[in-house]
Structure 1
């Protein structure tokens, strides 16, 4: 009454607010009824908000937007079992009052829903391989991607390589006999009788196996088969074997060269070592080599440019010396030798790499004796600066990048961590067995202090970064029920050894803050 000008505004706001709330309540009730009809169609009872309305709200419940936003759904965490009911609770606030509506849902319904989701994900396929498992035979798919399958194929490749080495040796015996080499008095057919038949049989043994491997990969991998370079390589090898075997003599290249190309398939072992733990050393080696490619290329480029500069300089100087000797018609034999080392740019470049990485005194003597004695200083300075200093720096950078690439590899870090954990468990179990004199599986305080006062044990633990100055304090920090089991000893020593970590300091800071606030409240 004291603000008559505001009354129309209040009335208009009340009307608009009432219309909004009525529309919200009607939409909520209609949606809940729709949910009830849908649940009844699927043999599932879902409570309706209207079923729980009070008697005085027959026209509908006026739910504000804030009340609707506070509707929550929770599920009980009871373990499921056959025939058991899991409860769903609908927490609804109606006009400031909270109502809990119970909705029993059978475990069978949830299991059916989970199986439906699982079958749907199986039809979607594996995201890592990009192959639709619904369209791929599961048995062939798993068989092709099984590490054991790759292992067997790699073993067969190694055996085939050994057989091919014996075949090359057999061909070398025949060639040495044809050339009349003194130690080769008989052809290979006489020294190794029947070897040729064995080699032919081996080709008919390994060829179909590799062809079957290729067919299985095509069936199992489908479109994914086209994304791997090695699959193209294997296809070329199998097709070449088939053409050479069935249509002998039609290939434009030597079939032996194509068979030797199979040796490149041994590089497939590099993929296999990533999956098997028994090849940790080989995996570290391949990872380090792969990570050092960049530094190797830059090192070669810098060394090549320096050597090319010196090669052009020496080629020009030595060519002038040779031309002068030819004009004077002297020392023709020495001119030929100088030309073999420095006559062209390519020969001179090879000579510079020989001086840097190989036997440098003969070349230095040749320059000193037949060109000029001033090349003595050149040879020494070049060997010290390029042969020692630059090569040493390149080796150091190469090793640094190689170890860094190996240390940053995720698989290597995880495997090293797993090794350290197993070593720690093994050491702590041996310590526990030595300290447990009664054999009851629990260390009491007396047994623990007795073993921790042994100087040899103390030094052994100090080497593992666990310094024990007070055995009683360590026992109190490790024990849980008045004694220490083997598992507690492993976990306790793992927590105590080493310096304080940032996580420990942060947790300590949080505890101190909590105590500070508790003291302030008091």
Structure 2
């Protein structure tokens, strides 16, 4: 979406620039026609002016180069030296307003639109992440309810190991980026020391943050960053 926003801003900015350049090309081209058709002027000077400003297309192309390439001295000095110093007013205004001010305004608009689009993308990504996390919580709730197969509200290490030995359960955890090669680590994180885990002890089904706290410690454990005896 950031790219789409950039393309849209680029299109309309170029439309605006082309219009300004067309107006400038028509003005400078028409004013220089008298010099181009003047038989008393030097032929080479007349040819140079015609080559750069003789038609609307040539004048527009020259202003385009002047705007974007930074070659304005080579396009303006010959006019000032060979035709008239009065054209300095036109070129100074054009370079200041179009080549300097307008280009920087367009750059600022590009930056703003791109950042706004990026922020929108970040907000959408946050919403998608929250939706995935809610789905993730629901799945884990189902898994840990399945562990409590007696319905007494308590989970023992034996029950936990039996459920985690199920290939489907292990495959699901692997899709989350976890390889549960040692289920005792998970149990010891949840256990308060009595050998059993209850919903009240772990807060697992009621605390979203606790779930990710557990998973975070699991990742650290299996990567060898922390160790549970």
Superposition deviation, residue 398 in structure 1: 2.5
CA distance change for structure 1 residues 440 and 491 in 2, over 3 Å: closer, same or farther?
closer
Task: Indicate which of 51, 61, 82 corresponds to 1:340.
Answer: 51
User: Residue 84 of structure 2 aligns to a residue in which SS?
Assistant: coil
Q: Are the equivalent residues in 1 in contact too, given 2:190–2:201 (CA < 8 A)?
A: no
Give distance in 1, aligned partners of 2:84 and 2:111.
39
Structure 2: 5+ residue stretches without partners = 134-186, 193-198, 215-229
2:16 alignment counterpart:
302
Question: Which structure 2 residues correspond to residues 344-363 of structure 1 after superposition, within 5 A?
Answer: 344-358=55-69, 359-363=71-75
2:129 to 413, 418, 428: 418
The separation in 2 between residues aligned to 1:331 and 1:396, in whole angstroms, is 45
Superposition deviation, residue 303 in structure 1: 1.5
Q: Which has the larger radius of gyration?
A: 1
**In 2: Cα distance, 1:393 partner to 1:365 partner:** 27
Q: Does 1:378 align with 2:100?
A: no
Q: 1:416 & 1:353 partners in 2: Cα distance? A: 44
Contact 1:441–1:486, Cα closer than 8 Å, also in 2: no
Aligned pairs (5 A) from 1:240-255:
none
Q: What is the alpha-carbon distance in structure 2 between the residues aligned to residue 343 and residue 361 of structure 1?
A: 18
Partner residue in 1 for 2:189: 441
1:454-488 superposed Cα distances (whole Å, 9 cap, x missing partner): xxxxxxxxxxxxxxxxxxxxxxxxx9538999972
1:488 is aligned to 210
Q: 1:321 aligns with which of 23, 35, 39?
A: 35
Cα distance in 2 for partners of 1:443, 1:361 equals 79
Post-superposition shift, 1:332?
1.3
Q: 1:381-396 residue pairs with structure 2 within 5 A?
A: 381-396=93-108
Distance 1:399 1:414 in 2: 21
Structure 1: runs of 5+ lacking an equivalent: 1-286, 423-438, 445-478, 493-522
Q: Assess, with a 3 A threshold, how the Cα gap between structure 1 residues 409 and 442 changes in structure 2: closer, same or farther.
A: closer
Query: Following superposition of structure 1 onto structure 2, how do residues 250-329 of structure 1 map, counting pairs within 5 Å?
Result: 287-324=1-38, 327-328=39-40
Of 348, 369, 394, the residue aligned with 2:81 is 369
Q: What is the rounded CA distance, in whole Å, between the counterparts of 2:92 and 2:10 in structure 1? A: 26
Write out per-residue CA displacement over residues 401-427 of structure 1, whole angstroms, 9 at most, x where no aligned residue: 2333344359x72378639x99xxxxx
Which has a greater percent of helix?
Answer: 2
So what's the TM-score if we normalise by structure 2? 0.54
Normalised by the length of structure 1, the TM-score is 0.25
| 1:302 to 1:486, Cα distance in 2 relative to 1, 3 A | closer
Contact map agreement 1:443 1:483 (CA 8 A) in 2: no
Cα RMSD of the aligned pairs, angstroms, is 3.7
Match in the other structure for 2:110: 398
Closer/same/farther in 2, CA of residues 443 and 370 from structure 1, 3 Å limit: farther
Number of residue pairs matched by the alignment: 151
Deviations 1:244-275 (A, max 9, x none): xxxxxxxxxxxxxxxxxxxxxxxxxxxxxxxx
Distance across 1 between alignment mates of 2:15 and 2:82: 32
Is the Cα contact below 8 Å between 1:342 and 1:348 reproduced in 2? yes
* Pair 1:441–1:487, CA change in 2 (3 A): farther
1:177-220 CA-to-partner distances (Å, cap 9, x unmatched) read: xxxxxxxxxxxxxxxxxxxxxxxxxxxxxxxxxxxxxxxxxxxx
Three-state SS of the structure 1 residue aligned to 2:34 is helix
**1:334 CA displacement:** 1.7
